[in-house]
Amino acid sequence: MKVSILTIFPEFFRSPLEQSLLAKAIAAGHLEVELVDIRKFSKDKHNSVDDEPYGGGGGMVMKIEPLYDALSSVLYKSEAKNRRILLTSAAGKPYNHPLAVKYSLLEHLIIVCGRYKGVDERINRLFDLEEVSIGDYIINGGETAALVILESVFRLLPGGIGKIESAISDSFADDLLGPPVWTRPAEFMGYTVPQTMLEGNHAQLDQFRRFHSLRRTWNRRPDILSRTELSDDDRRMLERITSGAEFEL
């Protein structure tokens, strides 16, 4: 898979791309990341990429010309038939795990990092792109959002992480928060790992994890449950959870 990131701050990505599993995925050829400096497509002597908005108001707006040329250059070189253009934007649709899965199936994902007050609206008329937001809060620019998208997508690729089972069992992978996890030692400062986790009975472990995944979701993100398809067993577990019961075999 190839990911092209269009940004005015390509150096922002240098360190993350050289670290941990992301660097290994790139080195192994499972992922190709292209950084495109939008500023290099500016035609004025100051290499400017922003200007004041028409109609007044605070802030600056990302100019259309350098962005158009930068994006056109990426598309011109792309041979992928299955590709998508994203624009990171506070006005975009919420980014989530299903979108990460959708994007991980692409041959070429192109991410435009929004900046300033926003991007000249004509970009939406000139290109078929999808605006996405990583949350209802304000950050300095789309570079952080692009990195979030990149990390969430690459780990779903074959070879992206060591074991695909790890990605499958993550929070949100089945529309629920992940269950609590423990590791050695089995006892620390008077707190012990639940006995079920130590006994190695896989059927019981599956039930234990599901129970606690449902309970954590109900306690912390009940909004997720309203859009999650639950089995009859899930509903019975939820009845016990909402009544305050603990896990029982």
For residues 112 and 153, give the distance between their C-alpha atoms in angstroms, rounded to a whole number.
Answer: 16
- 225-236 confidence digits (pLDDT tens): 988 999 999 999
- 98-148 confidence digits (pLDDT tens): 999 999 999 999 999 999 999 999 999 999 999 999 999 999 999 999 999
Residue 169 confidence (pLDDT): 47
Residue of 88, 101, 81, 205 lying closest to 152 (CA atoms): 101
DSSP strand pairing (191-192 vs 187-188)? antiparallel
Two structure tokens written together for 100:
């990460």
Residue-wise burial string across 37-62, b where 16 or more C-beta atoms lie within 10 A, e elsewhere: bbbebbeeeeeebbeeeeeeeeeebb
Higher pLDDT, 161 or 79: 79
Four-CA torsion 111, 95, 22, 142, nearest 10 degrees? 50
- 176-188 confidence digits (pLDDT tens): 998 999 999 999 9
Rg (CA), the chain: 22
The proportion of the chain whose per-residue pLDDT surpasses 70, expressed as a percent, equals: 94
Residue-wise burial string across 162-175, b where 16 or more C-beta atoms lie within 10 A, e elsewhere: eeeeebeebbbbeb
Residue 142 confidence (pLDDT): 97
Two structure tokens written together for 174:
């089945």
- Which domains, from first to last, does the chain contain? 2-164 (3.40.1280.10), 187-242 (1.10.1270.20)
Distance of CA 223 to the CA centre of its chain: 19
